[in-house]
Amino acid sequence: MLIRSSLFVAIAAALAVGALNILLVRDKINTLITQRDDFHTQRDQVQAQLNSAKRELAKAQDDLAQTQQDLTNTMTQLTKATADDQAQTKRANELADKLAKTSQDLDDAQNQLAAYKATGYTPDQIGGLAKTIKSTQDELEAVKEENGVLNLTVNNLRNQLYELVGSNVVVMLRADLKGKIIAVDPKWDFVVLNIGEQQGVLGNGELLVSRDGKLVAKVIVRSVQKDRSIANIMPGWQLGDVIEGDMVTPAHPAS
C-alpha cells in the first residue's frame, strides 16, 4: 500500500513537472512567435524604407542629370550669345569706321568741289590742265634722267682725262652714297662693293671703310659696273682687317 501511494505521488509529481514544463515551453514558443512577428514587421519596415530610399535616390539622380543637361544647355546658349554679341560689336565697329571714312570722304569731296568751283575753270578745262601737268611731269622726269646720265658720262670722261694727263684732282662722289663690302681678297688687297654706276660710283673715287662707326680702311675704286664695283685697299690706310659687311661712304663727298 505504501509503495502504491509512493508511486501515485511520483506519477502526480511527474505530471505536475510535465505540465509546468509544457507551460514554460508554451510561454517560450509564444515569446519566440512574438519576436518572429516583430522581426518580420521590422524587416518589412526596413525594406519599405530601403525601397523608398532607392526611389528617392533614383529621382535625385534623374534630377541631377536633368540639372546637368540644363546647365550644359545654358552654357551653350551663353557661349552662342557671347559669340553673337562679339560679332555684333565687331560689325558695329566696322560700320562706325566705315561711317567715319565715308564722312571723311564726303568732307574731302566737298572741299575738292569747293576748290574746283573757286578756280573758275570748266570741267573740260580742268581735264586739259591735268593732262598738261602730267605731260610736263613726265618730260621733267625724262630730263632729270637724261641729266643724270650726262653727269655720269661727264664725270667718267673727266676721270679718264685725269688718268691720261696724270692729274691729282680728287674725285668727288655723291654725299648720300652708301654701300657694303660683299667680298674681300686679302691676298691682292681688293674688295667688291654692292654699289656701282647706277648708284653714282665713279672710277678713282675714294671710299672710307667703317665698322660700328670706327674707321677700318680707305679704298679706291678701280672698276665700275652697273651695280657692282671693285676697289683696292689704299696703302697706309688699313687700320684693321676688312671683312664682308663693312660699310663704305665717300671719302670726298660732293657738297
pLDDT of residue 172: 86
Low-confidence ranges of the chain (pLDDT < 70): 1-21, 23-25, 109, 113, 115-130, 132-133, 135-137, 139-140, 142-169, 255
Instruction: Give the C-alpha distances (Å, rounded to integers) separating 165 from 100, 153, 161, 205, 224.
Output: 70, 18, 6, 17, 21
Ordered by start, the domain boundaries in the chain are 1-120, 121-169, 173-250
pTM of the model: 0.39
Cβ(238)–Cβ(217) below 8 Å: yes
At the topology level of CATH, where does 173-250 sit?
A: Thrombin, subunit H (2.40.10)
Alpha-carbon span 203 to 162, nearest angstrom: 11
Residue with cell 511520483: 10
Query: What mean pLDDT value characterizes the chain?
Result: 78
Quick: pLDDT tens for 86-137.
777 787 788 778 777 777 877 776 777 676 666 666 666 666 656 766 766 6
Quick: pLDDT tens for 173-184.
989 999 999 999
- Phi, psi values for residue 177, rounded to 5°: -70, 130
For residue 4, give the C-alpha cell: 502504491
pLDDT of residue 248: 96
